[in-house]
Amino acid sequence: MLPSPGHSMKSKLQELVAQALATLAGQGLLAEVPADHAVQIERTRDPAHGDFATNTALVLAKPARMKPRDLAQRLVDALPASPMVAAVEIAGPGFINFRLTEDAYHALIPEILARGPDYGRSQLGAGKRVQVEFVSANPTGPLHVGHGRGAAYGAVVADLLAAVGYSVHREYYVNDAGRQMDILATSVWLRYLELCGESLGFPSNGYKGDYVWDIAATLHREHGDDYRADALKVFRGVPPDQRDDEPDGDKEAHIDALIAAAKRLLGDNRYRFVFELGLNTILDDIRADLHEFGVDYQEWYSERALTESGAVNKAIERLREAGHVYEQAGALWFRSTDFGDEKDRVIERENGQTTYFASDIAYHMDKLERGFERVIDIWGADHHGYVPRVKGALKALGDDADRLEVLLVQFAVLYRGGEKVQMSTRSGEFVTLRQLRKEVGRDAARFFYVMRRCEQHMDFDLDLAKSQSADNPVYYVQYAHARVESVLRQAADKCMPVEPSRGTVNLQRLSEAHEQALLRSLSRWPEVVEGAAMTAEPHQVTNYLRELANDFHTYYNAHQFLVDDAELRDARIKLILAVRQVLRNGLGLIGVSAPDRM
RNA sequence: GCCCUCGUAGCUCAGGGGAUAGAGCAACCGCCUCCUAAGCGGUAGGUCGCAGGUUCAAUUCCUGCCGAGGGCGCCA
């Protein structure tokens, strides 16, 4: 990772070492060292090694033709003086360890209090435009808990990128054009016919969830029998469904014939009306669901609009002109094997319909044309096979496929009472995101979803998420915040001034080991935000918050804050105000509330 | 069969070239006359799946193997 122009302690040290390297280079000592060498500064694991360490001398020993410890010594000699550095020493095979001054840590407190919500934010992204597309579930039913993880993860990745200075565009791709939507419209209509009193066998491939009944009921309530047709006519000539008593049936042919019947018997306008009713009802529900989950978008991008704008045909034309398309068995194929895919893919079917993949090519072409410097797609891990073909298509179009980053999120498995919660989309028996939010609450859901690396299979323990105990990491962190608020209320009750003095006044009184540990944790926050943003790993934030909360709880147990000694009390109040601020910033970043009392 | 991800403490997981591998839970022992015990401290617990390779240095990177999960359609 390149040195950042940030203001963190780490980046300041990076700068010092870089200056020392420049000095040695000026003396002609580093002829074979690349000029753009990135200085690595890390936090030490062992406090005996100081606060930070760099392996620069070890890494550069060979090109500098020096022994690591000799190079380290020269670097130390060339290091510019800095008020933040208390001691520098060479250790082990050639590490350079830095110990920072107490003043450097004390100065952190007024900085945190002055910057407030901005402490931890940076300009690393330099305003570059990045698009984050996430969730994008088909609007054929409510979001389930699998989508919830993508929603929480995507929202935090987007917020992290914004926090480090990117201009972020959050987008939901609405698949409102495909066959699945026709199946939904037909499902709604068939349920409506049942409500009208028609008797029929519901197709095994139809959508069977209760929400389909709800949409059908709206149609029936508001329009009576206006959309009614004789069930016998609907099913006339339709090939048999595949079900237990008819194992030889074809469920695909069956549902397709029913869609055709719906279109024929309703006519274009009335079919479109039923279709739109289903689509809009579900999309409104998804939008509201995500909003209540703290997930909002800049844009809901319609696949249908993409198709109607001619973008799909344009993409196919561009591929054809570039010579990456061929016809076979009546269909149009994209030769994706030329770009690393394992087999070629159909983009236009024998019946003239373009495939979902063709829309995807057009959509990604459009994303790049809109001028985003980075395009991030967040997909369910089951779509990983799509990555080579989408990237392949971009390469075939002559675009820079590296601008597209695909992050894959594994599914979450719910556990209740130690038992796996069984889910099946087919039968409509799945746990919805809304049910999860109702059961464990928004805060726990948001926190738990991003607590693990996205590529990790996740066991979501519902009982733990609900438990109001120390075991529950959400409450643990929130409780730290509530405790700070509680102390401030107590101070007010005792008529002690809560308004702290300015600057670093009294801060030298913070000499306890617990206080120093807390200050070190507070100083890490900008590094955590930067690291989490650059690696798209929100779990680094939750881990940090647990550590910070732990430092605070330990301190709380060991020392009284509201002491009679006014100067000491002032210093401690300033410290816990800084802790409160960083807890708020961290919880805010992952979409979790910071309650005043619990 | 091919592809992707993962194998770290009894369980759930961090760490991902660097100095003695960490946390939470579970187990055991302690701590409220005190700003919320939804809290804190301590003890115990590991051949970082196995075998090679690269490196001054490998749990981390590479290769192979073993094991777990997922994906491989003129579906979306």
| Mean pLDDT value of segment A466-478 | 83
Between these two residues, A596 and A66, which has the higher pLDDT value?
A596
pLDDT recorded at residue A393: 92
**A4: pLDDT strictly greater than 70:** no
| Mean pLDDT value of segment A177-187 | 92
The C1' atom of B14 and the CA atom of A478 lie apart, in whole Å, by: 21
pLDDT recorded at residue A341: 82
Q: Which residue has the tokens 């726990």?
A: A444
Q: A55, A62 in Cβ contact below 8 A?
A: no
- What is the DSSP secondary structure assignment for residue A298, as one 8-state letter? S
Task: Identify the weakest region by mean pLDDT among A157-171, A379-393, A530-544.
Answer: A379-393
The C1' atom of B6 and the CA atom of A457 lie apart, in whole Å, by: 8
**CA distance linking residue A299 with residue A306, whole number of Å:** 14
Alpha carbons within 13 A on the beta-carbon side of A68: 13
**A56: pLDDT strictly greater than 80:** yes
The C1' atom of B57 and the CA atom of A42 lie apart, in whole Å, by: 17
Nucleotide closest in space to A303 (CA vs C1'): B76
Query: In order of start, what are the domains of chain A with their CATH numbers?
Result: 9-100 (3.30.1360.70), 108-123+469-589 (1.10.730.10), 130-176+294-409 (3.40.50.620), 179-285 (no CATH)
**A220: pLDDT strictly greater than 90:** yes
**Which one-letter amino acid corresponds to residue A154?**
G
* A357 contact partners, CB below 8 Å, separation of at least 6: A334, A345, A346, A347, A389
| Mean pLDDT value of segment A556-584 | 95
pLDDT recorded at residue A352: 85
User: Would the Cβ of A350 be found within 7 angstroms of any atom in strand B?
Assistant: yes
User: Would the Cβ of A543 be found within 7 angstroms of any atom in strand B?
Assistant: yes
> Which residue is closest, via its CA, to the C1' of B41?
A554
Between these two residues, A397 and A245, which has the higher pLDDT value?
A397
User: Would the Cβ of A337 be found within 7 angstroms of any atom in strand B?
Assistant: no
Task: Identify the weakest region by mean pLDDT among A420-429, A450-459, A472-481, A562-571.
Answer: A420-429
| Mean pLDDT value of segment A568-577 | 96
User: Would the Cβ of A473 be found within 7 angstroms of any atom in strand B?
Assistant: yes
Using CA atoms of A416, A418, A419, A421 in order, give the dihedral in degrees to the nearest 10: 30
Q: A451, A170 in Cβ contact below 8 A?
A: no
Strand B interface, A 377-406, C-beta < 7 A: 381-386
φ, ψ (nearest 5 deg) of residue A253: -65, -35
Sheet order of strands, A325-328 included: A325-328, A331-334, A345-348
Between these two residues, A5 and A338, which has the higher pLDDT value?
A338
pLDDT recorded at residue A6: 55
**A426: pLDDT strictly greater than 70:** no
The overall average pLDDT reported for chain A is: 90
- The candidate with the shortest Cα–Cα distance to A509, out of A553, A455, A557, A575, is A575
Q: Tokens standing for A515?
A: 């206080």
φ, ψ (nearest 5 deg) of residue A246: -135, 70
User: Would the Cβ of A356 be found within 7 angstroms of any atom in strand B?
Assistant: yes
Strand duo A95-100 + A52-54: pairing = antiparallel
Q: A592, A446 in Cβ contact below 8 A?
A: yes
* Nucleotides of chain B touched by protein CB (<7 A): 2-6, 12-15, 18-20, 22-26, 31, 34-41, 56-57, 69-72, 74-76
Q: A405, A375 in Cβ contact below 8 A?
A: yes
User: Would the Cβ of A424 be found within 7 angstroms of any atom in strand B?
Assistant: no
**Per-residue pLDDT band at A430 (split at 50, 70, 90):** low
Q: Tokens standing for A568?
A: 């000491």
The C1' atom of B38 and the CA atom of A294 lie apart, in whole Å, by: 24
Q: How many CB atoms lie within 10 A of CB A557?
A: 8
Strand B interface, A 281-300, C-beta < 7 A: none
**Per-residue pLDDT band at A1 (split at 50, 70, 90):** very low
Distances in Å between the Cα of A242 and the Cα atoms of A17, A180, A182 are: 71, 18, 19
Strand B interface, A 27-66, C-beta < 7 A: 44-46, 48-49, 53, 55, 58-59, 62
**CA distance linking residue A2 with residue A39, whole number of Å:** 8
Q: Which residue has the tokens 């940076």?
A: A122
Per residue in A527-560, pLDDT tens?
Answer: 999 999 999 999 999 999 999 999 999 999 999 9
pLDDT recorded at residue A2: 36
**CA distance linking residue A598 with residue A596, whole number of Å:** 7
User: Would the Cβ of A19 be found within 7 angstroms of any atom in strand B?
Assistant: no
Q: Tokens standing for A291?
A: 């909003």
Q: Tokens standing for A478?
A: 């929130």
Q: A316, A358 in Cβ contact below 8 A?
A: yes
Between these two residues, A486 and A467, which has the higher pLDDT value?
A486
Nucleotide closest in space to A44 (CA vs C1'): B19
Q: A586, A545 in Cβ contact below 8 A?
A: yes
**A423: pLDDT strictly greater than 80:** no
- The candidate with the shortest Cα–Cα distance to A177, out of A149, A138, A207, is A138
**A470: pLDDT strictly greater than 70:** no
pLDDT recorded at residue A506: 95
φ, ψ (nearest 5 deg) of residue A374: -130, 140
Q: A514, A559 in Cβ contact below 8 A?
A: yes
**Which one-letter amino acid corresponds to residue A123?**
Q
φ, ψ (nearest 5 deg) of residue A296: -130, 155
Q: Tokens standing for A212?
A: 């389909």
> Which residue is closest, via its CA, to the C1' of B13?
A452
**A505: pLDDT strictly greater than 90:** yes
**A263: pLDDT strictly greater than 80:** yes
Sign, CA torsion A179/A181/A187/A192: negative
pLDDT recorded at residue A429: 56
Q: Could you give the percent of chain A with pLDDT greater than 90? A: 67
User: Would the Cβ of A557 be found within 7 angstroms of any atom in strand B?
Assistant: yes
Q: Which residue has the tokens 């029936």?
A: A220
**CA distance linking residue A572 with residue A578, whole number of Å:** 10
- The candidate with the shortest Cα–Cα distance to A148, out of A380, A327, A482, is A380
Sign, CA torsion A3/A9/A551/A489: negative
User: Would the Cβ of A556 be found within 7 angstroms of any atom in strand B?
Assistant: yes
pLDDT recorded at residue A5: 46
Per residue in A303-361, pLDDT tens?
Answer: 999 999 999 999 999 999 999 999 988 899 999 888 878 888 999 988 888 888 999 99
Strand B interface, A 489-518, C-beta < 7 A: 489-490
